[in-house]
Amino acid sequence: MILFLHGGGERGEDLSLVRREGLPRILEHLPDFPFVVVSPQETKSRRWTPGVLVKLVDDAVAKYRVDRTRVYATGLSSGAAAALELAASHPDRIAAVAVASPNRLPEDLCRLKPVPVWMFHNSGDPRIPARRIRRFERSLSGCGGDVRVTLYDRGRHDSWTETYDRRDLYEWFRTHRTSREPS
């Protein structure tokens, strides 16, 4: 199962906003996509927290009978930040996390050590400097984390359109699982 978290531009009460970017945008063209995808919508007044998200994951895992050791998180911009925070808070529940242009990073990066991380970003992102992503990579690697970074040579914030079109991203997810069944 993949938990997809949208960016700030898709917050609200209109679910069609969630389908305009990232993974939900491509799903209708992939009828044989090999994952259950859960794409909640954050409202403008209520932000995602790791506690709310892990409950959503647990509910979806029970409802769709997915393998608890193969739950992945991904997101773009503010959703990327929420996916990283979820993985840092519940590393026993998230097998791997892939994020595109996170607008912030968890405070205690070493909590992400057990979770493989793949970050996608544009080298010329005008909102979030690429040096911040490289600093994250060095910090997480420094505490023994498994992190990789793909920097696209572009000057805009949207690194997710290309990222979610990558077949190797989904192959990478499938190579990871949590070390044991979460409690």
Q: Which domain holds residue 29?
A: 2-174
Q: Write out pLDDT tens, residues 97-156.
A: 999 999 888 888 899 999 999 999 999 999 999 999 999 999 999 999 999 999 999 888
Confidence of residue 8 (pLDDT cuts 50, 70, 90): confident
**Amino acid sitting at position 107:** E
Query: Would you say residue 105 lies in a domain?
Result: yes
CB 69 within 8 A of CB 177: yes
**Furthest-apart CA pair in the chain: how many Å?**
43
What is the enclosing helix (H) or strand (E) of 38? strand 37-38
For residue 182, tell me if it sits in a domain.
no
**pTM here?**
0.94
pLDDT digits (tens, 9 = 90+) for 84-112: 999 999 999 999 999 999 988 888 889 99
CATH of the domain at 59: 3.40.50.1820
Residue 73 lies in a domain: yes
Q: For 44-66, what is each residue's pLDDT tens digit?
A: 888 899 999 999 999 999 999 89
Query: Alpha-carbon distance 178 to 183, whole Å?
Result: 12
